[in-house]
Amino acid sequence: MTTSRSLDLAPVSAAAGQMHLPGSKSISNRVLLLAAMAAGATQLEGLLDSDDTRVMLAALRQLGVVVKETGPAQVEVQGGIPFAVRQADLFLGNAGTAFRPLTAALALMGGDYRLSGVARMHERPIGDLVEALVHLGADIRYEGNAGYPPLRIGQGEIHGGKPVVVKGAVSSQFLTALLLAAPLYAAQASDDVVIDVEGELISKPYILITLNLMAQFGVQVERQDWTRFTIPAGSRYRTPGRMQIEGDASTASYFMALGAIGGGPIHIHGAGSQSIQGDMAFADVVEAMGATVIRHAQSIEVRGVLVARGDKLKSFDRDFNLIPDAAMTAAMLALYADGPCTLRNIGSWRVKETDRIHAMHTELEKLGASVESGPDWIRVHPMQPSRWKAASIETYDDHRMAMCFALASFGPVHVTILDPGCVSKTFPEFFSVFQSLVQV
């Protein structure tokens, strides 16, 4: 039964069927901004319709960018810089992919802006990005705590010449933000724009998404390893005319998992071997755990074991730095493994929609699981059949907590998901799609 406050999931035994992924969040928010910065009209097809893209769309419209809805999941963006509106107060919810890139773009736009979000967004760090932009001459002030939103952005005096230095250990979105915004001043610059990464860079595959999409909008970035990125002087965005957005690979992870523990086959349409998203590597994770994966160009099929009948997946001890979002799904699969599963190098979980290491640890224990965790790792022990406890799972306003814990319904107890509506951050229809694929 569904209420707005909770969703009761009865034990399920198997899963099979077909599903179509909603558009990729990471790609949708990048191409909305790219299309807004590229002169002329861009048709975007397959756009994600969720909280994170709605705040980006609303912000762009507030900034004077004309965006017309031309069909389902389809918009036409009339781009051009600078944006027409030079003064705006923008609310960006909890969308990192809107907040970070808009901070960089608006810092170079020559207007006066205020950027804020939900309370949790004001606890998510942005200092490394602000520091890089301020060194470049941007005028950015913290309205509350130093290092965190809300931000006030003024006109600044951007000076080129030196490399822009950014740290990448807290979030790759800071580098993505600088890269996406770089053509705003590379267009007029007489020298190439150089961005250097200081120290470790996490979540690297997301940078490849950024570079790929910038190239589709006419800007070729030269990458030297993961330390130096060069945007040629004179680079400016050109509209590709039309762009098809692929399905969301992080969302695909829940359905790959469903095939792996519910027998399958689950056929996931919208992203496959041609995907530009790093989270497609979650297919390798389920494969290593014993599932059979068939990769098509734009879809993927997963068959697996029947954990409700007592079958087991193989355990793992793995570094998940490259796929931090899909990693949460792997933590759930650990319940059905043949030994303890360790997820390493996931320190960024602490600063996402919630402290995900804490949240996962706490909620898995409510189900009866034995869990250990440290600053940047978590270990989940497989569930013994007699240990399962019916539980109400807190979701901490984190869409991935809600989507992950749906996978607990393969245990023998009822699982209640609290505030299931929080899936609207990236996949408002998640639970109806999930329920259409499972059998009691």
Catalytic residues: 325
Which of ligand PEP, ligand S3P, none does 202 bind, CB closer than 5 to 8 A by kind? ligand S3P
**Is 124 annotated as contributing to ligand binding?**
yes
23 binds ligand S3P (CB under 6 A): no
Cβ proximity to ligand PEP: between 185 and 430 the closer is: 430
Residues 49-108, interacting with ligand S3P (CB under 6 A): 96-97
Q: Does 329 bind ligand S3P (CB under 6 A)?
A: no
Per CB under 6 A, does 277 bind ligand S3P?
no
Nearer to ligand S3P among residue 208 and residue 297 (C-beta) = 208
Q: Of 98 and 367, which has the nearer Cβ to ligand PEP?
A: 98
Interacting residue with ligand S3P among 46, 278, 324, 420 (CB under 6 A) = 324
Which amino acid type is present at position 309? R
- Confirm if 304 and 263 have CB atoms less than 8 A apart: yes
The answer to whether 312 is a known ligand-binding residue is: no
- Look up residue 145 and give its two tokens: 């705590």
Contact stretch for ligand S3P (CB under 6 A) within 103-111, 126-134, 198-206, 306-314: 198-206
Which span (181-189, 201-209, 284-292, 378-386) binds ligand S3P, by CB under 6 A? 201-209
Q: What are phi and psi of 58, to 5 degrees?
A: -65, -40
Q: Is 30 annotated as a binding residue?
A: yes
Contacts 24+ apart (CB under 8 A), 356-362: 356/328, 356/398, 356/400, 356/401, 359/394, 359/396, 359/398, 359/401, 360/328, 360/331, 360/401, 360/404, 362/394
Smallest Cα–Cα separation from 56: which of 102, 3, 88, 17? Answer: 102
CB contact set of 435 (below 8 Å; sequence gap of 6+): none
**Phi, psi of 323, rounded to the nearest 5 degrees:** -135, 65
Q: Closest separation between CB of residue 36 and ligand S3P, Å?
A: 17
> What is the distance between the alpha carbons of residues 305 and 263, in angstroms, rounded to a whole number?
5
Instruction: Please tell me whether 173 is known to bind a ligand.
Output: yes
For the chain, what percentages of helix, strand and coil (3-state, to nearest 5) are there? Answer: 35, 25, 35
Query: Which residue in 246, 248, 301, 325 binds ligand S3P (CB under 6 A)?
Result: 325
Residue with tokens 């290092």: 147
Q: Which residues bind ligand PEP (CB under 6 A)?
A: 94-97, 325, 352-353, 400, 426
Using CB under 6 A as the binding rule, whether residue 348 contacts ligand S3P is answered as yes
> 389 among the known binding-site residues?
no
Q: Give whichever of 282 and 388 is closer to ligand S3P, judged by the CB atom.
A: 282
Pick the closer one to ligand S3P by CB: 116 or 348. 348
Q: Are 437 and 258 in contact (CB under 8 A)?
A: yes
Least Å from the CB of residue 426 to ligand S3P: 8
Residue 96 or 264 having the CB closest to ligand S3P:
96
Q: Look up tokens 């965005």; give the residue.
A: 237
Q: Is 349 in the site for ligand S3P (CB under 6 A)?
A: no
Report the alpha-carbon distance of residue 363 to residue 46 in Å, rounded. Answer: 34
CB of 251 to ligand PEP, least distance (A): 10
Contact between 409 and ligand S3P per CB under 6 A: no
CA distance 316 to 277: 22
Judge contact between 256 and 282, C-beta under 8 A. Answer: yes
172: partner contacted, choices ligand S3P, ligand PEP, none (Cβ within 5-8 A by kind) = ligand S3P
- Alpha-carbon span 194 to 356, nearest angstrom: 34
The answer to whether 324 and 349 have CB atoms below 8 angstroms apart is: yes
Taking CB under 6 A as the criterion, the residue among 118, 129, 202, 219 binding ligand S3P is 202
**Binders in 165-184 for ligand S3P, by CB under 6 A:** 171-173, 176
Q: Using CB under 6 A, list all residues that contact ligand S3P.
A: 26, 96-97, 171-173, 176, 202-203, 206, 324-325, 348
